[in-house]
Amino acid sequence: MEITANMAGRGLAQIEIHGRQIAAVRVLGPLEPQAPFASPGFVDIQINGFAGLDFSGSELNPSAAVSVLPFLWKAGVTTFCPTLITNSIEQLRKNFQILEAARRLDRRFAEAVPCVHLEGPYLSPGGAHGAHDPTLMRPPQWEEFSALQRAANGNIGIVTMAPELPGAFDFIRQAAAAGVIVALGHTDAAPEHIHQAIEAGATLSTHFGNGCPNLIHRHQNPLWAQLAEDRLSASLICDGFHLPPDLVRVVYRIKGIERCILITDAVHVAGLAPGRYSMVGRGIELLPTGQVVTEDRQAMAGSALTMNRAVAVFERLAQATLAEALQAASTNPARLLRREGITTEIEPGQPANLVIFRPEPEALRIEAVFFMGDRVYPSA
């Protein structure tokens, strides 16, 4: 199979696919205005649910988990990390087991999900808790986490936590040594906590600029230390609600494109009609504007964002190039995960996970998606 498409920053190219891999890439000339663009498949490392499916919900089952794939392919996502948020330990254990059952049930789900993301319950119950239930939060315990990891068959690949909690630094060291990516988020930490967490092995800021109190000390707060630290990549929710343009631009300029990672932080109401819903027993509302908020409207509750829109919004807000925005949605998160089967770039030998699209101001218009060499959107 051969695909002729523009490659941002490289020109018009012919991409040859043999079986499940990219076999050859030939640059034919400059960009062709009438041709679509090609990108590695998008990688969303933080997605709580989509199209009515809640990965943290008590009704989750393996078939339902698998059913989310076509909705994500439509947005250009070929790799994702189902994210479980703060919940009872028993419910977390159960849902990790269900996600593992989904991996056994469907090969494509197993290949699309290289690992899962645990966001909580090791978060701050203070002003940074956001839509998470503070009554379910607790200091990190390695034995407890290890039990959850066994339920997940060793596939918890990211854990988001607050570094100021008792025992956090020992936990980070053990997690990092075990190959788990430690992310800092929903934290009321002082700068010294951030620095100590990085020394212990933390490498990521979860939805930077969110998951912190609305009112903070102008200097002694968790933001500047994370922003200044080159060893931390920053994940960003670019939906027009979570971050103002100036902040997106500052993060892009300070971190450099290599350390910017786009996420959706989408919850199960993404793709549904505006209205009131619940998430882990707490009321949330999807507003007509597309913003998702808690029932009391005191905090945002994830998003209804899709990755094809996140790329366009980041490009505009950061004043980045299209190539850079695509890198933040594909290459950067793929390299962070360091797992086989994820396309990091369009090169021979890479898995044939590709998105074919046309740029538009508010969202990329997805024309086709290939997953392991098969066209999965639109379906054949």
- pLDDT for the residue 19: 96
Residue reference for tokens 């906590």: 193
**pLDDT computed for residue 212 by the predictor:** 84
How far apart, in whole angstroms, are the C-alpha atoms of residue 74 and residue 78?
10
Q: Which domains does the chain have, with CATH numbers?
A: 42-342 (3.20.20.140)
Looking at the predicted structure, is the pLDDT value of residue 5 above 70? yes
Whether 75 contacts 366, CB under 8 Å:
yes
Does residue 126 surpass a pLDDT of 80?
yes
Strand order from edge to edge, sheet including 275-279: 275-279, 282-286, 292-294
Residues 6+ apart with CB under 8 A from 254: 227, 228
| Mean pLDDT across the chain | 96
C-alpha torsion sign, points 20, 1, 80, 347:
positive
**Which tokens go with 183?**
């992310």
- Residue 98 phi/psi, 5-degree rounding, is -65, -40
| Residue 110 · residue 82 · CB < 8 Å | no
Which candidate, 318, 81, 363, places its Cα nearest to that of 209? Answer: 318
Across residues 303-326, what is the average pLDDT?
98
How far apart (Å, rounded) are the C-alpha atoms in residues 380 and 292? 34
Looking at the chain, the number of H-run helices and the number of E-run strands are: 12, 20
Q: In the chain, what is the straight-line distance between the N-terminal and C-terminal CA atoms, in Å?
A: 15
Query: pLDDT per residue over 331-361, tens digit each?
Result: 999 999 999 899 999 999 999 999 999 999 9
**Above 70 in pLDDT, residue 234?**
yes
Q: Return the SS3 of 20.
A: coil
Model confidence at 115, pLDDT cuts 50, 70, 90, reads very high
pLDDT tens digits, one per residue of 24-67 = 999 999 999 999 999 999 999 999 999 999 999 999 999 999 99
The pLDDT confidence band at residue 380, using thresholds 50, 70 and 90, is: low
User: What is the percent of the chain with per-residue pLDDT over 90, rounded to a whole number?
Assistant: 92
pLDDT digit string, tens, across residues 244-277: 999 999 999 999 999 999 999 999 999 999 999 9
Judge whether residue 324 has pLDDT over 80: yes
Residues 222 and 189 sit within 8 Å (Cβ to Cβ): yes
> In the structure encoding, which two tokens stand for residue 1, read together?
């199979």
215 pLDDT more than 90: no
Which of 258, 259, 247, 249 shows the shortest CA–CA distance to 223? Answer: 247
